[in-house]
Amino acid sequence: MTVFTHAQGIIKTLKEVTEEGIGMLNSEKTAETLAAINRRTTLRPKVGIILGSGLGDIADSIENSVAIVYDEIPYWPRTTAIGHAGRLVIGTLEGAPVVAMQGRVHYYEGYTMEEITFPVRIFGEMGIRSIIATNAAGGVNLDYAPGDLVAIRDHINFMGTNPLIGANNNKWGQRFPDMTYAYDPDYIEKAAQVARDNNIRFHNGVYIAFSGPSYETPAEILMSRALGADVVGMSTVPEVIVANHMGMRVLAISCVSNYAAGVRPVRLLHNEVLEGMSRAVGSLAAVIKGFLRVIAGDVLGA
């Protein structure tokens, strides 16, 4: 009876129960995951780095590193995409204590948004307040060429879902997080300065995320450009939303691996996209390292 007459009250109660349940479940999971990572290293990273398709090699420059394969980390989602190594590398890079993901999982692999963003939750619980996310992306902006780097200054979420859907865990963040400065303007400027110092082609632009795994149609790319997008991809947005939910500062960089569909009269082939990535790896590594050198003092003091 009360279900109908006090519907709102009942819904609230159910929501609270769910919140408690989810909070407990997640904190149990994260505690186990954190313990497993902390058993392998005494280093406490301050910056989390997510390395996308074809970009994993950057983690090889991490010094005094410990690498943990994802299989050995409880609840860590396993990568299935080609071009992903599937290891967590912890150590120092340019004086900054970092944890790098060599490979991430995508929505198109069939993982839930919660699974995709679980590593970012772990980063947050590790005390990380700064994240560098990287990805391969198609160039929607006609001024962009394969090999260019793009600091993401904003995004359009076209994945059709959001990683924060469901009960909110208040320990992690608030129900309606602001996304106005989702991509830290100061971080973008610092990265741009490093790029200028190194003569690297570096833009800042808007990233539009589709679920994939099919590449976009030429019509979808026309639409994306009309909406104000500069680059297109199938990742990053979920992680950035969750990082913002936890109050982290985000630098996200796209490596333009190909002209987006229809920009040139050719088909998009995954191995050619990966080849395009290899052109951007060197400049991406230079920007990440230069950026870490600049923020190392700040993050160590934090």
Q: Which residues bind ligand HPA (CB under 6 A)?
A: 136-138, 215-216, 232-234, 257-258, 260, 268, 273
**CB 124 → ligand HPA: shortest distance, Å?**
26
Beta strand pairing call for 47-51 and 130-139: parallel
Residue corresponding to tokens 């936890």: 246
Q: Between 200 and 260, name the residue whose CB sits nearer to ligand HPA.
A: 260
Tokens encoding 71: 């299989």
Q: Between 44 and 264, name the residue whose CB sits nearer to ligand HPA.
A: 264
Q: Between 45 and 103, name the residue whose CB sits nearer to ligand HPA.
A: 103
For ligand HPA, the nearest residue by Cβ is 138
**CB 163 → ligand HPA: shortest distance, Å?**
18
**CB 292 → ligand HPA: shortest distance, Å?**
25
Residue 296: partners with Cβ closer than 8 Å, 6 or more residues away: 94, 95, 96
**CB 271 → ligand HPA: shortest distance, Å?**
12
Beta strand pairing call for 149-157 and 202-209: parallel
Residue 18 has, within 13 A of its CA and on its CB side, a CA count of 10
Q: Between 51 and 260, name the residue whose CB sits nearer to ligand HPA.
A: 260
Tell me the H-state helices in 174-269. 185-197, 218-227, 237-245
174, 167 Cβ separation under 8 angstroms? no
In angstroms, the CA 139 to CA 47 distance is: 28
Name the phi and psi angles at 7, rounded to 5.
-50, -45
In angstroms, the CA 158 to CA 206 distance is: 12
Residue 77 preceded by cis peptide, ω within 30 = no
Q: Between 75 and 158, name the residue whose CB sits nearer to ligand HPA.
A: 158
Q: Between 96 and 113, name the residue whose CB sits nearer to ligand HPA.
A: 113
**CB 281 → ligand HPA: shortest distance, Å?**
14
**CB 108 → ligand HPA: shortest distance, Å?**
10
